[in-house]
Structure 1
Amino acid sequence: MRQPVYCLLFTTLLIGSIAHADNKPLRIGVDLPYTPYQYKEPDGTISGFEVELVNAACERMQRDCEWVEQGWDGIIPGLMARKYDFIASAMNITEERARQVSFSAPYYQIPSVWVQSVNSEYDLDGELADISIGVQQATIQDEYVTTYYPDANIHRYGDSGSVVADMHAGRLDLVFTAYSLAQETMLQDERFEQTGELITGPESIYGPGIGAAFRPRDKALIEEFNKAMLELKEDGTFDNIYNAYFKDQ
Protein backbone atom coordinates (compact mmCIF):
# COMPACT_ATOMS: atom_id res chain seq x y z
CA MET A 1 0.00 0.00 0.00
CA ARG A 2 1.34 3.45 -0.88
CA GLN A 3 2.06 5.99 1.79
CA PRO A 4 -0.04 9.14 1.60
CA VAL A 5 1.76 12.03 -0.12
CA TYR A 6 1.96 14.06 3.09
CA CYS A 7 3.64 11.13 4.87
CA LEU A 8 6.24 10.85 2.12
CA LEU A 9 6.84 14.58 2.26
CA PHE A 10 7.20 14.54 6.06
CA THR A 11 9.62 11.59 5.90
CA THR A 12 11.73 13.32 3.25
CA LEU A 13 11.90 16.55 5.25
CA LEU A 14 12.77 14.66 8.44
CA ILE A 15 15.60 12.71 6.80
CA GLY A 16 16.89 15.88 5.17
CA SER A 17 16.88 17.77 8.46
CA ILE A 18 18.73 14.97 10.25
CA ALA A 19 21.39 14.83 7.52
CA HIS A 20 21.77 18.61 7.69
CA ALA A 21 22.12 18.50 11.47
CA ASP A 22 24.81 15.81 11.29
CA ASN A 23 26.84 17.76 8.74
CA LYS A 24 26.50 21.27 10.07
CA PRO A 25 29.81 23.03 10.84
CA LEU A 26 31.38 22.29 14.18
CA ARG A 27 31.92 25.46 16.19
CA ILE A 28 35.09 25.45 18.29
CA GLY A 29 35.81 27.79 21.19
CA VAL A 30 39.31 29.27 21.38
CA ASP A 31 41.09 31.92 23.45
CA LEU A 32 43.54 34.13 21.53
CA PRO A 33 46.43 34.64 21.41
CA TYR A 34 48.37 31.68 22.75
CA THR A 35 51.23 31.50 20.28
CA PRO A 36 52.13 29.10 18.68
CA TYR A 37 49.08 27.01 19.56
CA GLN A 38 46.42 29.55 18.61
CA TYR A 39 46.84 33.01 17.11
CA LYS A 40 45.41 35.32 14.49
CA GLU A 41 47.09 36.00 11.15
CA PRO A 42 47.24 39.60 9.83
CA ASP A 43 44.28 38.82 7.56
CA GLY A 44 42.20 37.70 10.55
CA THR A 45 42.54 33.96 9.94
CA ILE A 46 42.89 31.90 13.11
CA SER A 47 45.92 29.62 12.88
CA GLY A 48 48.45 27.78 15.02
CA PHE A 49 49.53 24.25 15.89
CA GLU A 50 46.36 23.14 17.65
CA VAL A 51 44.16 24.93 15.12
CA GLU A 52 45.80 23.07 12.22
CA LEU A 53 45.61 19.81 14.14
CA VAL A 54 41.92 20.15 14.96
CA ASN A 55 41.13 21.31 11.42
CA ALA A 56 42.77 18.11 10.19
CA ALA A 57 40.65 16.10 12.64
CA CYS A 58 37.54 17.84 11.32
CA GLU A 59 38.47 16.79 7.79
CA ARG A 60 38.71 13.16 8.95
CA MET A 61 35.29 13.56 10.55
CA GLN A 62 34.03 15.05 7.27
CA ARG A 63 32.89 18.15 9.10
CA ASP A 64 33.60 21.82 8.51
CA CYS A 65 35.08 23.78 11.42
CA GLU A 66 34.29 27.32 12.54
CA TRP A 67 36.46 28.93 15.21
CA VAL A 68 34.79 31.13 17.81
CA GLU A 69 36.89 33.53 19.89
CA GLN A 70 36.18 33.47 23.62
CA GLY A 71 38.10 34.88 26.58
CA TRP A 72 39.64 32.23 28.81
CA ASP A 73 37.63 33.06 31.91
CA GLY A 74 34.38 32.45 30.05
CA ILE A 75 35.42 29.58 27.82
CA ILE A 76 33.78 26.73 29.77
CA PRO A 77 30.59 28.75 30.51
CA GLY A 78 30.45 29.52 26.78
CA LEU A 79 30.54 25.79 26.01
CA MET A 80 27.72 25.10 28.44
CA ALA A 81 25.72 27.97 26.93
CA ARG A 82 26.09 26.23 23.53
CA LYS A 83 28.07 29.07 21.94
CA TYR A 84 30.22 26.36 20.38
CA ASP A 85 30.36 22.56 20.20
CA PHE A 86 33.70 22.02 21.93
CA ILE A 87 36.84 23.80 23.13
CA ALA A 88 40.28 23.35 21.57
CA SER A 89 42.45 25.95 23.28
CA ALA A 90 45.53 24.37 24.88
CA MET A 91 43.37 23.24 27.80
CA ASN A 92 44.98 20.84 30.26
CA ILE A 93 42.82 17.96 31.40
CA THR A 94 42.36 18.44 35.15
CA GLU A 95 40.07 16.96 37.77
CA GLU A 96 38.49 20.32 38.49
CA ARG A 97 37.61 20.97 34.85
CA ALA A 98 36.46 17.37 34.39
CA ARG A 99 33.71 18.05 36.93
CA GLN A 100 32.18 20.44 34.40
CA VAL A 101 33.13 19.05 30.98
CA SER A 102 34.08 15.79 29.30
CA PHE A 103 37.50 15.61 27.67
CA SER A 104 38.83 13.87 24.62
CA ALA A 105 41.87 11.66 24.98
CA PRO A 106 44.96 13.86 25.57
CA TYR A 107 46.76 14.59 22.32
CA TYR A 108 49.81 16.61 23.40
CA GLN A 109 51.53 18.10 26.44
CA ILE A 110 52.82 21.63 27.04
CA PRO A 111 55.78 22.08 29.38
CA SER A 112 55.91 25.29 31.41
CA VAL A 113 58.99 27.47 31.85
CA TRP A 114 60.25 30.25 34.08
CA VAL A 115 61.48 33.35 32.25
CA GLN A 116 63.56 36.09 33.86
CA SER A 117 65.63 39.05 32.76
CA VAL A 118 69.25 38.20 32.02
CA ASN A 119 71.60 38.56 34.98
CA SER A 120 68.71 38.07 37.42
CA GLU A 121 69.09 35.31 39.96
CA TYR A 122 65.98 34.01 41.68
CA ASP A 123 65.91 30.97 43.91
CA LEU A 124 63.06 28.88 42.51
CA ASP A 125 63.50 26.50 45.43
CA GLY A 126 62.77 29.32 47.86
CA GLU A 127 59.61 31.27 48.67
CA LEU A 128 60.13 34.15 46.20
CA ALA A 129 58.60 36.52 48.74
CA ASP A 130 57.59 39.86 47.21
CA ILE A 131 58.88 38.84 43.77
CA SER A 132 56.52 39.93 40.96
CA ILE A 133 55.44 36.89 38.97
CA GLY A 134 53.26 37.12 35.86
CA VAL A 135 50.81 34.36 34.85
CA GLN A 136 47.68 34.07 32.78
CA GLN A 137 44.67 33.88 35.07
CA ALA A 138 42.88 30.53 35.60
CA THR A 139 45.61 28.51 33.85
CA ILE A 140 47.64 25.64 35.25
CA GLN A 141 50.57 28.08 35.53
CA ASP A 142 48.40 30.24 37.77
CA GLU A 143 47.48 27.23 39.90
CA TYR A 144 51.12 26.09 40.10
CA VAL A 145 52.43 29.48 41.23
CA THR A 146 49.56 29.96 43.69
CA THR A 147 50.25 26.52 45.18
CA TYR A 148 54.03 26.70 45.47
CA TYR A 149 54.72 30.44 45.84
CA PRO A 150 51.85 31.88 47.91
CA ASP A 151 54.06 34.67 49.31
CA ALA A 152 55.00 36.01 45.88
CA ASN A 153 53.43 39.10 44.35
CA ILE A 154 51.41 37.26 41.72
CA HIS A 155 50.08 39.31 38.80
CA ARG A 156 47.23 37.54 37.00
CA TYR A 157 46.27 38.60 33.49
CA GLY A 158 43.26 37.82 31.35
CA ASP A 159 45.37 36.88 28.32
CA SER A 160 48.92 35.76 27.62
CA GLY A 161 49.70 38.82 25.51
CA SER A 162 49.33 41.07 28.55
CA VAL A 163 51.73 38.90 30.55
CA VAL A 164 54.35 39.22 27.83
CA ALA A 165 53.76 42.97 27.44
CA ASP A 166 54.33 43.64 31.14
CA MET A 167 57.50 41.52 31.14
CA HIS A 168 58.82 43.53 28.19
CA ALA A 169 57.88 46.74 30.01
CA GLY A 170 59.88 45.71 33.08
CA ARG A 171 56.91 45.46 35.42
CA LEU A 172 57.54 41.79 36.24
CA ASP A 173 60.51 39.93 37.70
CA LEU A 174 59.49 36.48 36.50
CA VAL A 175 56.96 34.97 34.11
CA PHE A 176 55.71 31.40 34.35
CA THR A 177 54.15 30.33 31.08
CA ALA A 178 54.03 27.71 28.35
CA TYR A 179 57.49 26.93 26.97
CA SER A 180 56.61 27.37 23.31
CA LEU A 181 54.81 30.63 24.03
CA ALA A 182 57.93 31.87 25.84
CA GLN A 183 60.09 30.85 22.88
CA GLU A 184 57.93 32.85 20.49
CA THR A 185 57.53 35.97 22.62
CA MET A 186 60.45 36.33 25.05
CA LEU A 187 63.30 33.84 24.74
CA GLN A 188 64.33 35.12 21.31
CA ASP A 189 64.95 38.50 22.94
CA GLU A 190 68.48 38.83 24.37
CA ARG A 191 67.05 40.61 27.43
CA PHE A 192 65.39 37.42 28.69
CA GLU A 193 66.41 33.89 29.53
CA GLN A 194 65.03 30.63 30.83
CA THR A 195 65.74 29.79 34.43
CA GLY A 196 65.30 26.33 35.95
CA GLU A 197 64.04 23.18 34.27
CA LEU A 198 60.95 22.72 32.13
CA ILE A 199 57.96 21.73 34.26
CA THR A 200 55.19 19.24 33.36
CA GLY A 201 53.94 18.25 36.79
CA PRO A 202 52.68 17.38 39.28
CA GLU A 203 49.81 15.57 37.57
CA SER A 204 47.46 16.87 40.28
CA ILE A 205 47.89 20.27 38.57
CA TYR A 206 48.95 19.43 35.01
CA GLY A 207 46.84 16.34 34.44
CA PRO A 208 47.72 13.90 31.65
CA GLY A 209 48.00 16.52 28.90
CA ILE A 210 46.00 18.75 26.58
CA GLY A 211 42.58 17.67 25.35
CA ALA A 212 39.46 19.07 23.72
CA ALA A 213 36.55 19.80 26.09
CA PHE A 214 32.96 18.83 25.30
CA ARG A 215 29.58 18.96 26.94
CA PRO A 216 29.17 15.67 28.87
CA ARG A 217 26.12 14.60 26.85
CA ASP A 218 28.04 14.69 23.53
CA LYS A 219 29.58 11.24 23.89
CA ALA A 220 29.24 10.32 20.20
CA LEU A 221 31.06 13.49 19.15
CA ILE A 222 33.88 12.78 21.62
CA GLU A 223 34.29 9.26 20.23
CA GLU A 224 34.30 10.60 16.68
CA PHE A 225 36.93 13.20 17.56
CA ASN A 226 39.13 10.66 19.38
CA LYS A 227 38.98 8.33 16.37
CA ALA A 228 40.00 11.13 14.01
CA MET A 229 42.88 12.23 16.25
CA LEU A 230 44.14 8.64 16.53
CA GLU A 231 44.16 8.35 12.74
CA LEU A 232 46.21 11.56 12.49
CA LYS A 233 48.80 10.09 14.86
CA GLU A 234 48.91 6.71 13.14
CA ASP A 235 49.39 8.02 9.59
CA GLY A 236 52.03 10.64 10.44
CA THR A 237 49.85 13.73 9.95
CA PHE A 238 50.21 14.69 13.62
CA ASP A 239 54.02 14.52 13.41
CA ASN A 240 54.08 16.60 10.22
CA ILE A 241 52.02 19.37 11.82
CA TYR A 242 53.99 19.18 15.08
CA ASN A 243 57.36 19.38 13.33
CA ALA A 244 56.24 22.43 11.35
CA TYR A 245 55.86 24.33 14.64
CA PHE A 246 58.29 22.64 17.02
CA LYS A 247 61.10 21.30 14.84
CA ASP A 248 63.74 22.61 17.26
CA GLN A 249 62.27 20.87 20.34
Structure 2
Amino acid sequence: MKMKPVLTATLTTLCLAPLAQAEQIRVGFATEPYPPFATPDASGELHGWEVDITRAICEAAELDCRIVTTSWDGLIPALTGDKIDFIAASLSITDKRRETIAFSDKYYQTPASLAAAQGAALEPTPEGLAGKTLGVQSASIHQAYAQAHFPAATLREYQTQDEANQDLFAGRLDATLADRLIVEQFLDSRQGQLCCEMQGNVAHDPGTLGEGIGFGIRQDDDALRERLNAAIAEVRADGTYDAITERYFDFDIYGDADS
Protein backbone atom coordinates (compact mmCIF):
# COMPACT_ATOMS: atom_id res chain seq x y z
CA MET A 1 0.00 0.00 0.00
CA LYS A 2 1.31 3.43 -0.90
CA MET A 3 0.67 6.42 1.32
CA LYS A 4 -0.84 9.47 -0.31
CA PRO A 5 1.74 12.21 -0.92
CA VAL A 6 1.90 14.72 1.90
CA LEU A 7 1.91 18.32 0.76
CA THR A 8 4.83 20.18 2.32
CA ALA A 9 4.37 23.54 0.67
CA THR A 10 6.82 26.24 1.60
CA LEU A 11 6.54 29.79 0.35
CA THR A 12 10.06 30.98 -0.30
CA THR A 13 11.23 34.54 -0.07
CA LEU A 14 12.24 34.45 -3.73
CA CYS A 15 10.09 36.58 -6.01
CA LEU A 16 10.38 35.42 -9.57
CA ALA A 17 9.10 38.70 -10.99
CA PRO A 18 8.50 41.39 -8.37
CA LEU A 19 6.49 43.75 -10.59
CA ALA A 20 4.58 46.64 -9.09
CA GLN A 21 0.82 45.95 -9.16
CA ALA A 22 1.37 42.68 -11.07
CA GLU A 23 -0.98 39.81 -10.41
CA GLN A 24 0.44 37.48 -7.75
CA ILE A 25 0.72 33.85 -8.80
CA ARG A 26 1.91 30.80 -6.84
CA VAL A 27 4.37 28.71 -8.84
CA GLY A 28 4.99 25.10 -7.83
CA PHE A 29 8.54 23.71 -7.91
CA ALA A 30 9.62 20.31 -6.60
CA THR A 31 11.33 20.17 -3.21
CA GLU A 32 13.83 17.63 -4.56
CA PRO A 33 16.98 19.14 -6.14
CA TYR A 34 16.99 18.90 -9.93
CA PRO A 35 20.23 20.50 -11.12
CA PRO A 36 20.82 22.42 -13.30
CA PHE A 37 17.12 23.30 -13.46
CA ALA A 38 16.24 24.06 -9.84
CA THR A 39 18.45 23.49 -6.79
CA PRO A 40 18.05 25.02 -3.31
CA ASP A 41 20.94 26.87 -1.67
CA ALA A 42 21.72 26.74 2.06
CA SER A 43 18.82 29.08 2.81
CA GLY A 44 16.37 27.04 0.74
CA GLU A 45 16.17 29.54 -2.10
CA LEU A 46 16.00 27.93 -5.55
CA HIS A 47 18.48 28.61 -8.34
CA GLY A 48 18.93 27.19 -11.83
CA TRP A 49 17.97 27.41 -15.48
CA GLU A 50 14.29 26.66 -14.94
CA VAL A 51 14.05 29.21 -12.14
CA ASP A 52 15.64 31.88 -14.34
CA ILE A 53 13.48 31.03 -17.35
CA THR A 54 10.33 31.07 -15.23
CA ARG A 55 11.37 34.43 -13.79
CA ALA A 56 11.74 35.85 -17.30
CA ILE A 57 8.42 34.40 -18.46
CA CYS A 58 6.61 35.75 -15.40
CA GLU A 59 8.09 39.19 -16.02
CA ALA A 60 7.01 39.10 -19.67
CA ALA A 61 3.51 38.04 -18.59
CA GLU A 62 3.42 40.77 -15.91
CA LEU A 63 2.90 38.21 -13.16
CA ASP A 64 4.29 38.47 -9.61
CA CYS A 65 5.33 34.82 -9.28
CA ARG A 66 6.05 33.38 -5.82
CA ILE A 67 7.63 29.94 -5.45
CA VAL A 68 5.86 27.23 -3.50
CA THR A 69 7.76 23.96 -3.06
CA THR A 70 6.34 20.50 -2.51
CA SER A 71 7.37 16.92 -3.22
CA TRP A 72 7.46 15.95 -6.88
CA ASP A 73 4.48 13.60 -6.65
CA GLY A 74 2.52 16.22 -4.72
CA LEU A 75 2.71 18.90 -7.42
CA ILE A 76 -0.35 17.94 -9.46
CA PRO A 77 -2.51 17.41 -6.33
CA ALA A 78 -1.36 20.84 -5.13
CA LEU A 79 -2.41 22.37 -8.45
CA THR A 80 -5.82 20.71 -8.61
CA GLY A 81 -6.31 21.48 -4.91
CA ASP A 82 -5.77 25.21 -5.55
CA LYS A 83 -2.64 25.40 -3.40
CA ILE A 84 -0.58 26.60 -6.39
CA ASP A 85 -1.51 28.26 -9.69
CA PHE A 86 0.89 26.57 -12.09
CA ILE A 87 3.71 24.03 -12.04
CA ALA A 88 7.24 24.87 -13.22
CA ALA A 89 9.11 21.66 -12.49
CA SER A 90 10.20 20.04 -15.76
CA LEU A 91 6.73 18.56 -16.24
CA SER A 92 6.41 16.68 -19.53
CA ILE A 93 3.34 17.28 -21.66
CA THR A 94 1.58 13.90 -21.93
CA ASP A 95 -1.93 12.74 -22.81
CA LYS A 96 -2.16 10.96 -19.46
CA ARG A 97 -1.50 14.17 -17.55
CA ARG A 98 -3.91 16.06 -19.79
CA GLU A 99 -6.67 13.95 -18.25
CA THR A 100 -6.08 15.90 -15.03
CA ILE A 101 -4.42 19.21 -15.93
CA ALA A 102 -3.75 21.49 -18.91
CA PHE A 103 -0.39 22.67 -20.22
CA SER A 104 1.23 25.74 -21.66
CA ASP A 105 3.25 25.52 -24.84
CA LYS A 106 6.56 23.72 -24.33
CA TYR A 107 9.56 25.66 -23.08
CA TYR A 108 12.19 22.94 -23.51
CA GLN A 109 12.65 19.34 -24.66
CA THR A 110 15.44 16.81 -24.07
CA PRO A 111 15.74 13.04 -24.75
CA ALA A 112 15.64 10.20 -22.21
CA SER A 113 18.89 8.27 -21.73
CA LEU A 114 20.20 5.17 -20.05
CA ALA A 115 23.20 4.97 -17.72
CA ALA A 116 24.82 1.72 -16.56
CA ALA A 117 28.07 0.39 -15.10
CA GLN A 118 31.22 0.91 -17.13
CA GLY A 119 31.64 -1.91 -19.64
CA ALA A 120 28.03 -3.10 -19.26
CA ALA A 121 27.28 -2.42 -22.93
CA LEU A 122 23.52 -2.43 -22.43
CA GLU A 123 21.35 -1.54 -25.39
CA PRO A 124 18.53 0.89 -24.45
CA THR A 125 15.97 -1.48 -25.97
CA PRO A 126 13.45 -4.01 -24.63
CA GLU A 127 15.83 -6.84 -25.55
CA GLY A 128 18.87 -5.11 -24.08
CA LEU A 129 17.18 -4.59 -20.70
CA ALA A 130 15.44 -7.95 -20.43
CA GLY A 131 16.17 -9.46 -17.02
CA LYS A 132 17.91 -6.27 -15.79
CA THR A 133 17.02 -4.15 -12.77
CA LEU A 134 16.22 -0.61 -13.89
CA GLY A 135 15.92 2.38 -11.57
CA VAL A 136 13.41 5.15 -12.34
CA GLN A 137 12.00 8.14 -10.49
CA SER A 138 8.51 7.48 -9.18
CA ALA A 139 5.64 9.24 -11.02
CA SER A 140 8.00 10.38 -13.79
CA ILE A 141 7.66 9.99 -17.56
CA HIS A 142 10.68 7.70 -17.41
CA GLN A 143 8.80 5.33 -15.12
CA ALA A 144 5.87 5.37 -17.57
CA TYR A 145 8.22 4.75 -20.50
CA ALA A 146 9.94 1.84 -18.74
CA GLN A 147 6.61 0.25 -17.84
CA ALA A 148 5.46 0.51 -21.46
CA HIS A 149 8.66 -0.46 -23.27
CA PHE A 150 10.73 -2.62 -20.91
CA PRO A 151 8.27 -5.29 -19.72
CA ALA A 152 11.01 -7.86 -19.15
CA ALA A 153 13.03 -5.56 -16.87
CA THR A 154 12.55 -5.35 -13.11
CA LEU A 155 11.67 -1.76 -12.23
CA ARG A 156 12.75 -0.17 -8.96
CA GLU A 157 11.12 3.15 -8.08
CA TYR A 158 12.79 6.04 -6.24
CA GLN A 159 11.51 9.31 -4.84
CA THR A 160 14.40 11.18 -6.45
CA GLN A 161 16.74 10.52 -9.36
CA ASP A 162 19.69 11.06 -7.02
CA GLU A 163 18.60 8.02 -4.99
CA ALA A 164 18.54 5.93 -8.16
CA ASN A 165 22.00 7.21 -9.10
CA GLN A 166 23.34 6.25 -5.67
CA ASP A 167 22.03 2.71 -6.03
CA LEU A 168 23.56 2.48 -9.50
CA PHE A 169 26.89 3.59 -8.05
CA ALA A 170 26.54 1.01 -5.26
CA GLY A 171 25.85 -1.80 -7.74
CA ARG A 172 22.25 -2.36 -6.65
CA LEU A 173 20.94 -1.49 -10.13
CA ASP A 174 21.92 -2.55 -13.61
CA ALA A 175 20.87 0.76 -15.12
CA THR A 176 18.83 3.91 -14.62
CA LEU A 177 16.67 5.85 -17.06
CA ALA A 178 16.34 9.64 -16.83
CA ASP A 179 16.52 12.89 -18.75
CA ARG A 180 19.77 13.02 -20.72
CA LEU A 181 20.95 16.22 -19.02
CA ILE A 182 20.49 14.66 -15.60
CA VAL A 183 22.27 11.47 -16.69
CA GLU A 184 25.19 13.48 -18.07
CA GLN A 185 25.47 15.51 -14.89
CA PHE A 186 25.67 12.34 -12.80
CA LEU A 187 28.26 10.83 -15.15
CA ASP A 188 30.35 14.01 -14.81
CA SER A 189 30.32 13.75 -11.01
CA ARG A 190 33.08 12.00 -9.06
CA GLN A 191 30.89 8.97 -8.36
CA GLY A 192 29.62 8.79 -11.92
CA GLN A 193 33.11 8.90 -13.36
CA LEU A 194 34.15 6.04 -11.08
CA CYS A 195 31.28 3.70 -11.86
CA CYS A 196 29.23 4.37 -14.87
CA GLU A 197 28.81 5.45 -18.48
CA MET A 198 26.17 6.51 -20.97
CA GLN A 199 24.39 3.71 -22.83
CA GLY A 200 22.47 5.94 -25.25
CA ASN A 201 19.04 7.45 -25.78
CA VAL A 202 15.88 5.38 -25.85
CA ALA A 203 13.61 5.54 -28.90
CA HIS A 204 11.31 8.53 -28.51
CA ASP A 205 7.67 7.79 -27.67
CA PRO A 206 5.46 10.91 -27.45
CA GLY A 207 2.79 8.83 -25.71
CA THR A 208 4.92 8.37 -22.61
CA LEU A 209 7.80 10.83 -22.93
CA GLY A 210 5.47 13.60 -24.01
CA GLU A 211 5.69 16.56 -26.34
CA GLY A 212 8.26 18.58 -24.42
CA ILE A 213 8.22 20.35 -21.07
CA GLY A 214 5.40 22.78 -20.30
CA PHE A 215 3.91 24.61 -17.36
CA GLY A 216 1.13 22.61 -15.69
CA ILE A 217 -2.08 24.64 -15.33
CA ARG A 218 -5.58 23.90 -14.10
CA GLN A 219 -7.84 22.81 -16.93
CA ASP A 220 -10.23 25.74 -16.52
CA ASP A 221 -7.54 28.43 -16.30
CA ASP A 222 -7.46 29.47 -19.96
CA ALA A 223 -6.51 33.06 -19.16
CA LEU A 224 -3.31 32.08 -17.35
CA ARG A 225 -2.42 29.55 -20.05
CA GLU A 226 -2.76 32.19 -22.76
CA ARG A 227 -0.64 34.70 -20.81
CA LEU A 228 2.11 32.15 -20.28
CA ASN A 229 2.04 31.06 -23.92
CA ALA A 230 2.38 34.66 -25.07
CA ALA A 231 5.25 35.21 -22.63
CA ILE A 232 7.07 32.04 -23.76
CA ALA A 233 6.85 33.29 -27.35
CA GLU A 234 8.06 36.75 -26.29
CA VAL A 235 11.20 35.58 -24.45
CA ARG A 236 12.00 33.24 -27.33
CA ALA A 237 11.67 36.06 -29.85
CA ASP A 238 13.48 38.85 -28.00
CA GLY A 239 16.63 36.86 -27.16
CA THR A 240 15.99 36.52 -23.42
CA TYR A 241 15.58 32.75 -23.67
CA ASP A 242 18.89 32.29 -25.49
CA ALA A 243 20.75 34.65 -23.16
CA ILE A 244 19.65 32.67 -20.11
CA THR A 245 20.27 29.31 -21.75
CA GLU A 246 23.82 30.21 -22.73
CA ARG A 247 24.70 30.54 -19.04
CA TYR A 248 23.88 26.87 -18.50
CA PHE A 249 24.09 24.90 -21.75
CA ASP A 250 26.15 24.80 -24.92
CA PHE A 251 23.27 23.56 -27.11
CA ASP A 252 19.68 24.53 -27.93
CA ILE A 253 17.69 23.06 -25.08
CA TYR A 254 14.42 24.10 -26.72
CA GLY A 255 14.71 21.18 -29.11
CA ASP A 256 13.00 20.74 -32.46
CA ALA A 257 10.85 23.79 -33.09
CA ASP A 258 8.24 21.59 -34.79
CA SER A 259 7.91 19.06 -31.97
Specify if TM > 0.5.
yes
Q: Greater helix share, 1 or 2?
A: 1
Which letter does structure 2 place at the counterpart of 1:223? E
What CA distance in whole angstroms lies between the structure 2 residues aligned with 1:169 and 1:42? 27
| Structure 1: gaps spanning 5 or more residues | 1-21
Q: Deviations over 1:6-52 (max 9, x none)?
A: xxxxxxxxxxxxxxxx8342111111222212211233211121111
Which letter does structure 1 place at the counterpart of 2:24? P
Secondary structure in 2 aligned to 1:244? Answer: coil
Contact 2:137 2:143 in 1 (8 A): yes
Task: Report percent identity of matched pairs.
Answer: 32
Instruction: Find the structure with the greater CA-based Rg.
Output: 1
Q: Greater strand share, 1 or 2?
A: 2
What CA distance in whole angstroms lies between the structure 2 residues aligned with 1:62 and 1:200? 39
Which letter does structure 1 place at the counterpart of 2:204? G
Secondary structure in 2 aligned to 1:164? Answer: helix
1:82 aligns with 2:82: yes
The offset of 1:228, in angstroms, is: 1.0
What CA distance in whole angstroms lies between the structure 1 residues aligned with 2:148 and 2:63? 41
Superposition pairs for residues 220-231 of structure 1, below 5 Å?
A: 220-231=223-234
What CA distance in whole angstroms lies between the structure 1 residues aligned with 2:63 and 2:213? 22
Superposition pairs for residues 31-42 of structure 1, below 5 Å?
A: 31=30, 32-42=32-42
| Structure 2: gaps spanning 5 or more residues | 1-20, 253-259
Equivalences, count: 227
Q: Deviations over 1:145-172 (max 9, x none)?
A: 1111112111111122211222222211
Secondary structure in 2 aligned to 1:66? Answer: strand
Secondary structure in 2 aligned to 1:107? Answer: strand
Label 1:154 to 1:87 Cα distance change in 2 as closer, same or farther (>3 A). same
1:206 aligns with 2:204: no
1:219 aligns with 2:222: yes
Which letter does structure 2 place at the counterpart of 1:117? A
What CA distance in whole angstroms lies between the structure 2 residues aligned with 1:199 and 1:157? 20
1:65 aligns with 2:65: yes
What CA distance in whole angstroms lies between the structure 1 residues aligned with 2:159 and 2:92? 17
Equivalent position of 1:8 in the other structure: none
What CA distance in whole angstroms lies between the structure 1 residues aligned with 2:150 and 2:167? 20
Equivalent position of 1:177 in the other structure: 178
1:241 to 239, 244, 247: 244
What CA distance in whole angstroms lies between the structure 1 residues aligned with 2:228 and 2:183? 29
TM-score by structure 1 length?
0.85
What CA distance in whole angstroms lies between the structure 2 residues aligned with 1:201 and 1:248? 19
Secondary structure in 2 aligned to 1:246? Answer: coil
Contact 2:124 2:202 in 1 (8 A): no
TM-score by structure 2 length?
0.82
What CA distance in whole angstroms lies between the structure 2 residues aligned with 1:199 and 1:233? 28
